[in-house]
Amino acid sequence: MKITIKQLLLPLLSFVLISSAMAKTNAEATTTVALPTPTVAATPTLTPAPPELNAKGYVLLDANSGHIIAEKNASTHMPPASLTKLMTLYIIADSIHNNQINLDDKVKISNKAWHMGGSRMFVRAGSKVPIKDLIQGIIVASGNDATFAMAQYIGGTEPAFVSMMNQTAASLGMNNTHYSDSNGLPTKNHYSSPEDLAILARAWILNFPEYYPWFKQKWITYNKIKQPNRNRLLWRDPSVDGLKTGHTDAAGYCLIASAERNGMRLISVVMGTPTDSSRADDSEALLNYGFRFYESHKLYDANTPLTTPRIWFGKTEKIGFGLTKPLYITIPKGQYKKVKATISLSNTLKAPIKKGQSYGSVKITLSGKPIASEPLVALQDDPEAGFWSRSIDHVSLLFHSWF
């Protein structure tokens, strides 16, 4: 009777497969990852408490990391006044980005848009105005007429557009926001929060950088009427380049501002201040505090391998694992030496491995306290190898688990 090599090996392979399956080889390992060397080594400084402001609520946030540096009543519901228009402009930018509308499209102004009260761009009923002009009217003049016209143009009706606003807010994680109109005029069940508006401003900056320069325009002249941007910081501080003011009796004076200094971008949201000048002063105080006492660091790029572990039973023996987006941190100045990065990943990763799926995490600590965590994902697929390759890996893995 002739016995083949395969018949001789099958009992051994069966034993190995059973033993390998019983072996406890899925323990998670934690390893330290090297941090990049900072371009400038900041001197450690004392970090005082944030400035006390005469505002109902505020947030100071790092645009890159999303870290909140300072806050007061960050998640409290407050009337947003014309800060509402930042969401209207977000949907306009998204529609342009997706080629649904064009900057040169002309919008016919309805009688209802023409009759809107409050701040106005002074468009005329029946006229056709290019979208690029209406955008300037919304940002600089805070025109309720221009805002309503764009809501009708994109949504068909303002209620339909408001539904788009609420859906977008939900998708961005603005959990303390509900819109009832497109412009911020006092309406029932219309509210937001400092933190939500900071989230929206950050999304604006990260998702539509090509359109963000709209917000630094200082003047608009339309129908021979010249109007200034109400964001006083555009004249006062050259590092400030956005975003939007708001005011009603119920909301008080509000301002979302953003500035960039030495590669660090901060967003401040101030709501419910008593005067026009106080919203600018409070915003400036917050921004100066953040830039003076905090620093931002980019630790890792997206889609760059941070580790290349062994993959068992796969066609490729080793593949890279990394992040889906850049990882930034915000820390008090001079504390970078106390930052540590670790990777948590299974000791035995087994094919099939799917690109983009999370298999572990990257955790960042400052003086032992967690400050950031991101999923560690596979940067490529690794399908299962053939039978014999997998069998050899079973033998190797069994010895690996034993020793």
Which residues are identified as catalytic?
Answer: 82, 85, 142
Residue 325 identity? K
The residue written with tokens 């990882």 in the block is: 327
Residues contacting 167, CB < 8 A, separation 6+:
none
Burial class (CB in 10 A: 0-12, 13-18, 19+), 85: buried
Sequence-separated contacts (24+) of 94-103 with Cβ below 8 Å: 94/168, 94/207, 94/208, 95/154, 96/131, 96/211, 97/208, 97/211, 100/154, 101/131, 101/153, 101/154, 102/131, 103/130, 103/131, 103/132, 103/135
Residue 295 identity? E
Cα separation, 171 vs 178, in Å, equals 13
Residue of 239, 256, 238, 235 whose CA lies nearest to 247: 256
Residue 200 identity? L
Positive or negative, the CA dihedral 64, 66, 72, 77 is positive
